[in-house]
Structure 1
Amino acid sequence: MYENFGQFINGKWSRGNGNEPVSVIDPGNGQSLGFIPAASTEDTLSALAAAEQALDSWKNTQAWARADLLQAVAREMVAAAAVAAVVISKESGKPLAQAKREWELSVDQFVWYAEEARRIYGRIVESRVPGGRCEVSHEPVGVVAAFTAWNFPVVLVARKLAPALAAGCTVVLRPSSEVPGSAMMIFECLRKAGIPAGVANLVVGPTPATYEPLIASPVVKKVSLTGSTQLGQQMIRDSAATIKRLSMELGGNAPVIVFEDADLEKALDLSVATKFANCGQVCVTADRFYVHESVYESFVEGFARRTSQLKVGYGQDEGTAMGPLINTRRLQAIEAIVTDAREKGAKVITGGHRIDLNGGYFYAPTVLADVPDDALAIAEENFGPIAAITSFSDSEDLWARVNNSDFALSAYAFTRDPGRIRETVAKLESGMVGINSYALAAAEVPFGGIKASGMGREGGSEGIHDYMNVKLAQIVV
């Protein structure tokens, strides 16, 4: 599966020189997908040197030429869609239909930022100095180190590569070692599209060899991360010595409010499909449901009924709605969260157990009701197939409960009252809010959180500016 790939350095695929190969496991059956020769520290430094050498030429390449190349990448990705979806499904375990959709969303990133490359606007500001003029312009920040997680192995890569390349930056990307082939599919499309040598590089391997050299180097001017809050905190500390610019999409624990006037059938259909997509391993997924007491019983019953009808299975099997967790560590973590909820008085309405299926890491889609606020299922991000449901009656108490979290990536509500919609958007402490919808992730809109959920934005016109410096010139003639 990985025979033609490996490390992508200075425009070429090469074998890594690390001591231990990277072993990739199919979470749907626990079997090996193959091995990749890991990068050594020297490999990472070579990738960094290639990015540094390519920077001057790439940042001075006309924006229209950069845009044309990104469009070429998108065309190569469209051509590779069928093969890529299989790789994504095998490595991550997600159903094939979800893998196909993720690849399509990744194509969108390159198409969108091809256009944004042509729209890097400055402005003229009236000067106080006689005969003067103030010009504000934007320039690429420089060499970027990007780090991505395993749960969305291609769209997370595209969200970093596309805006960075559009801005005129060069990149060294380190994907998760659990899903490296998915990222390699994108880099192969870059290669086929004719990306200049050194502009985009990929290294796969252990932390000492692929993280530490990048984070310590003064050549790297910006770091972009999708990962856990704990990793983000460590990266902030590690970057302090060289004062790098940072953008981070970290953990989430999204609340969902279901008011008494909500379209209950719509809320249930959307919530079940969203909650169990990618086995719940989604940072913006619905985690904790606050349901008005007048519709609480109907909501719990409808949620459990729909959940029990989901087909759990191997990602490439026909009709599979939910695949496995990524590894045994996630299985153990989910079991601990459900045990904690039970001990604190929550009711398991459906699920709550492992599924023995082909040696994979499967856990039944689980609905918990009457969950107290101090249970882990509500107090922390569960990152798995657990829907934790509780009730509310008083709106003022509701806002305190919902916002009582360090995480503030996404939040959702279902209501048909226009006034309540405006109040809800204003009251929710979150980087993103969905009203009667969970559709927040798209190339054309900014994606990101506040508080412990991160900083900076990916997507939209805002996304490219995270890879640019602002320069002021006061010109007097």
Structure 2
Amino acid sequence: MLVGTKHGMYINGEWLSAATGEVIEVFNPATREKIAEVPSCSKEEAELAVQSAQAAFEAWANVTARERSSFLYKAYHKMIERKEELARLLTMEQGKPLQEARGEIEFAASFLLWYAEEANRVYGEMIPAAKKGKRLWVVPKPIGVVAAITPWNFPSAMVTRKVAPAIAAGCTVVLKPAEQTPLSAIKIVRVFEEVGLPKGVINLVTGDPVQIGKVLMESSDVRSITFTGSTEVGKLLMKGSAQNVKKLSLELGGHAPLLVLDDADLDLAAEQAAASKYRNCGQTCICTNRIFVHENVKDTFTQKLQEKVRQLHLGNGLEEGVTIGPLIDKGGLEKVKRQVEDSVSKGAVVTAGGKEWNGPGGYYYEPTILTNVSNDMKIMKEETFGPVVPIVPFTSIDEAIKAANDTDYGLAAFLFTNDLSKAINIMEKLEYGIIGINDVFPGTAEAPFGGMKESGLGREGGHEGIQEFIEMKYVSLAIKEL
């Protein structure tokens, strides 16, 4: 057992167990073996975490930006030093291959580094007044207590992507990680503890998301909620937070299209499509969910993608040579199976994969390609979050754009072409917050990340990310002219 029941909840600088003694169990999705127990906190303990953050807020908000920056720099270096330890833990609780986990730890640390720098660049503004005898300026102030609710698919990177800018801005935080993957969050909070972050600046609660979420939504002390997860839960948070008019930053579902034009580099397109679709077993919010290929190159592209899929090696992410791990749990596996069965029943053809894989006992599904796909299939409407991708031919660019935009989601879209004019024109017409042109890995700490339509509100990363935790105070001062 990696983490005991006494070491999973962190409130006001102390590691606590749940007063009730209740725990949540953490399982390795590659083997279905229990690897840990962490506290399942009560409503009262969640409220205590909020009170701790509120009590620490005034002092932390008055700490200079340089001082806040120094804590983030120290945390960055400590995460990099412990990359291997953190990566192995991440793989055990989440399932992704160890090499991917190492990349996630580096990605997570990059947000600490970026916001260590951005802490010093939160600027106000002087406004030329239209009337004599007035001076106008805008003063940035931290919003207050931030509730950060993070998902299981990137249990380290999504913590730092939210916590780092909030801390840099001068806010205090109550962190609620996904119940499937709390161990990475616990380790990151320990890093902050070890670098001397003052008590109450970051607080960690684990347990029932409904009970904890209710406290965070209803508390008037929580001024902002930042959440990554499903659109359905995001809507519940919006509704529950309305009574206190909280600021919300929501990174929600996606249904990313990938367009392959007939002038594209097909080797690059197939390689990147496979990397996007099957990374983390298809469990990423911006991974390719629908591939639209010009009919002139459909067969060639499909053959090249099949070759890439045949090179993937399913298994426990801790084993050498494994390139695709398990789905997170039984629910994730069942959803993938339902989508494939629905597609096949309506005429889709499985050209690779198409069935569950027993492996070492985890929640595995073979990397799968579907052709002869129609728009009435669930896979064309629902976010898959699994290793299955449909391929759909198109004849005209307008047809491809219309099909790509035919969804309530608008997080990310990808385009492969060697024609710059086509790339720019198509990019401008795609209704998505993130566009990758000949690139399926747009995520980086220095750029804004977020969606349109039902894919969310606000942005994470870049200089925009810290603004989610800032209020702008406008000051109008009347003076006597000398």
The match for 2:449 is 447
Aligned pairs for 1:196-275 (under 5 A) are 196-275=198-277
The match for 2:3 is 2
Tell me how far apart the structure 2 counterparts of residues 19 and 455 of structure 1 sit (CA, whole Å). Answer: 37
Secondary structure of the structure 2 residue equivalent to 1:311: coil
Post-superposition Cα deviations, 1:107-160, rounded to whole Å, max 9, x if no partner, equal: 100000010000001111100121212101211000011101100001001111
Tell me how far apart the structure 2 counterparts of residues 17 and 114 of structure 1 sit (CA, whole Å). Answer: 36
Tell me how far apart the structure 1 counterparts of residues 253 and 81 of structure 2 sit (CA, whole Å). Answer: 33
Secondary structure of the structure 1 residue equivalent to 2:160: helix
Tell me how far apart the structure 2 counterparts of residues 435 and 374 of structure 1 sit (CA, whole Å). Answer: 28
CA contact (8 A) 1:142 1:169 kept: yes
Tell me how far apart the structure 2 counterparts of residues 407 and 16 of structure 1 sit (CA, whole Å). Answer: 38
The match for 1:72 is 74
CA contact (8 A) 2:256 2:412 kept: yes
CA contact (8 A) 1:129 1:476 kept: no
Regions of 4+ moved over 4 Å: none
Tell me how far apart the structure 2 counterparts of residues 210 and 202 of structure 1 sit (CA, whole Å). Answer: 11
The match for 1:402 is 404
Amino acid across the alignment from 2:197: I
Aligned length, in residue pairs: 477
Segments of 5+ residues of structure 1 without an aligned counterpart are: none
CA contact (8 A) 1:48 1:172 kept: yes
Residue 208 of structure 1: how far off its partner (Å): 4.4
The match for 1:421 is 423
The match for 1:382 is 384
Post-superposition Cα deviations, 1:382-437, rounded to whole Å, max 9, x if no partner, equal: 11001110100022222211111000000000000011011011110000000000
CA contact (8 A) 2:9 2:17 kept: yes
CA contact (8 A) 1:279 1:384 kept: yes
CA contact (8 A) 1:25 1:33 kept: yes
CA contact (8 A) 2:315 2:360 kept: no
Residue 17 of structure 1: how far off its partner (Å): 2.1
Match of 1:321 among 320, 323, 326: 323
Tell me how far apart the structure 1 counterparts of residues 276 and 210 of structure 2 sit (CA, whole Å). Answer: 36
The match for 2:84 is 82
The match for 1:367 is 369
The match for 1:438 is 440
CA contact (8 A) 2:29 2:363 kept: yes
RMSD over aligned CA atoms reads 1.0
Tell me how far apart the structure 1 counterparts of residues 419 and 39 of structure 2 sit (CA, whole Å). Answer: 57
Does residue 1:466 correspond to 2:468, yes or no? Answer: yes
Amino acid across the alignment from 1:463: G
Tell me how far apart the structure 2 counterparts of residues 259 and 209 of structure 1 sit (CA, whole Å). Answer: 48
CA contact (8 A) 2:413 2:435 kept: yes
CA contact (8 A) 1:135 1:472 kept: yes
Does residue 1:28 correspond to 2:46, yes or no? Answer: no
Residue 476 of structure 1: how far off its partner (Å): 2.2
CA contact (8 A) 1:17 1:38 kept: no
Post-superposition Cα deviations, 1:261-299, rounded to whole Å, max 9, x if no partner, equal: 000001111111221010000000011000000000011
CA contact (8 A) 1:18 1:37 kept: no
CA contact (8 A) 2:7 2:15 kept: yes
Tell me how far apart the structure 2 counterparts of residues 401 and 328 of structure 1 sit (CA, whole Å). Answer: 31
The match for 1:140 is 142
The match for 1:123 is 125
After TM superposition, the structure 1 stretch with the greater mean CA deviation from structure 2, 451-460 or 270-279, is 270-279
Tell me how far apart the structure 2 counterparts of residues 404 and 50 of structure 1 sit (CA, whole Å). Answer: 45
Tell me how far apart the structure 1 counterparts of residues 278 and 397 of structure 2 sit (CA, whole Å). Answer: 28
Amino acid across the alignment from 1:210: I
Tell me how far apart the structure 2 counterparts of residues 262 and 429 of structure 1 sit (CA, whole Å). Answer: 21
Residue 19 of structure 1: how far off its partner (Å): 5.2
Give % identity: 39
Tell me how far apart the structure 2 counterparts of residues 60 and 202 of structure 1 sit (CA, whole Å). Answer: 22
After TM superposition, the structure 1 stretch with the greater mean CA deviation from structure 2, 71-80 or 420-429, is 71-80
Amino acid across the alignment from 2:265: D
Tell me how far apart the structure 1 counterparts of residues 20 and 119 of structure 2 sit (CA, whole Å). Answer: 37
Amino acid across the alignment from 1:330: G
Tell me how far apart the structure 2 counterparts of residues 308 and 98 of structure 1 sit (CA, whole Å). Answer: 19
CA contact (8 A) 2:173 2:202 kept: yes
Secondary structure of the structure 2 residue equivalent to 1:211: helix
Tell me how far apart the structure 2 counterparts of residues 209 and 246 of structure 1 sit (CA, whole Å). Answer: 19
Residue 18 of structure 1: how far off its partner (Å): 3.9
CA contact (8 A) 2:405 2:430 kept: yes
Tell me how far apart the structure 1 counterparts of residues 191 and 219 of structure 2 sit (CA, whole Å). Answer: 28
Post-superposition Cα deviations, 1:171-224, rounded to whole Å, max 9, x if no partner, equal: 001000100001111101000010100000000011344221111100000000
CA contact (8 A) 2:90 2:101 kept: yes
Secondary structure of the structure 1 residue equivalent to 2:185: helix
After TM superposition, the structure 1 stretch with the greater mean CA deviation from structure 2, 422-431 or 127-136, is 127-136
Tell me how far apart the structure 1 counterparts of residues 273 and 168 of structure 2 sit (CA, whole Å). Answer: 35
TM (normalized to structure 2)? 0.98
CA contact (8 A) 1:138 1:469 kept: yes
Tell me how far apart the structure 2 counterparts of residues 5 and 442 of structure 1 sit (CA, whole Å). Answer: 32
Residue 374 of structure 1: how far off its partner (Å): 2.1
Distance change >3 Å, CA 208–CA 325, structure 1 → 2: closer
Residue 43 of structure 1: how far off its partner (Å): 1.3
Secondary structure of the structure 2 residue equivalent to 1:283: coil
After TM superposition, the structure 1 stretch with the greater mean CA deviation from structure 2, 419-428 or 393-402, is 393-402
After TM superposition, the structure 1 stretch with the greater mean CA deviation from structure 2, 33-42 or 275-284, is 33-42
